[in-house]
Amino acid sequence: MRGNRGVFCVVLLALACLPAFAGDRGSGHFRKGDKRIDIAHVVAVSSDEDADPAHARTYVFLSDVPLDAAAIAAAFDPSRAAEGQLGDRAAGYVRACIDPDGGECGLYFSRNNPSASFNTSGYGALTLEPARPGRVAGRWVLAEPDDFFGETYDFDLRFDAALVIPPGHPLPVDGGDPGKAYRAWIAAVAKGDVPALRAMVGGDYNGWRLKSDDQDDVKAALKDLRDGTPVQAEILRGRRDGDNAVLWVQGRDRDEILRRGRVQLQRVDGDWRYMEADLDNVEE
């Protein structure tokens, strides 16, 4: 008995050490026309896209194949990360967006082979279960099919998942080294200093165009950057996870339009490089 009791304690300890998402449950379906996925897996992440972390939304990804919650939570664009995890497989997911107050902020359906996608909001009924620490659970159902340009759709989505937050730690008020690198970046954008921008860029889109041998590509990239980049920026807050950093910034572009949003930087060979930005116009 003494030996069995020891084994039993070891088993209990092992169970207690399982990750919180081990008990995640997702079920139901989403159908649009003849395109359908039957839900077998679920992950939930905190989006943390707003300058005020109290406004963070919850994204619940329900899918017919397993998804990596940690990778999605760490991504600058969670939905793009989920798309990437599907690969070329015949698979799909539904992303349910939930506001901090428990209301819905949209439903997005995407699948591969055959390809289909669909956005909707304001349809069906979302019911959340009483909050439990670190988890989100509920059901979003549209029982009676609705019509969208002659094609019907319906869904019944059930979920109970651990809420995974983006990894990392807060940066100093000025953004630390990533903040310094971003201020150098926007100064180079304002001056149109292409050699400096080529040395500081790391993202594929602007990186490829700025480094192109075609001067039309370079001019187009520089114009796009100037149109959407603040001439000077206030760093509202920042988060760093190893060699990756996100800054929340605001500032006026060359047309005096106030822009606010996020910027991603990555440290490569010891230097912080600009990867991409998601800045919106701010209504004043």
pLDDT of 242 reads 97
Q: What is the CATH number of domain 169-281?
A: 3.10.450.50
Query: Does the pLDDT value for residue 15 go beyond 70?
Result: no
Query: Does the pLDDT value for residue 19 go beyond 80?
Result: no
Residue 64 has which token pair?
């017919």
Task: DSSP for 149-183, please give it.
Answer: TTEEEEEEEEEEEEEEPPP-EEPPTT-HHHHHHHH
Closest CA to 231 of 251, 245, 259, 211: 251
Report which DSSP code applies to 130: P
How many whole angstroms separate alpha carbon 87 and alpha carbon 72?
A: 14
**Residue 274, beta-bridge partner list:** 201, 265
Contact 62, 159 (CB under 8 A): yes
Query: Does the pLDDT value for residue 17 go beyond 50?
Result: no
Q: What is the pLDDT of residues 171-214, one digit of tens each?
A: 999 999 999 999 999 999 999 999 999 999 998 878 899 999 99
Q: What is the pTM of this model?
A: 0.88
pLDDT of 21 reads 54
Contact 153, 19 (CB under 8 A): no
Domain with CATH 3.10.450.50 in the chain: 169-281
pLDDT band at 22 (very low <50, low <70, confident <90, very high): low
How many whole angstroms separate alpha carbon 2 and alpha carbon 4?
A: 6
Residue 207 has which token pair?
């990186």
Q: What is the pLDDT of residues 72-92, one digit of tens each?
A: 999 999 999 999 999 999 999
Is-cis flag, bond preceding 114, omega within 30? yes
What's the whole-number average pLDDT of the chain?
A: 91
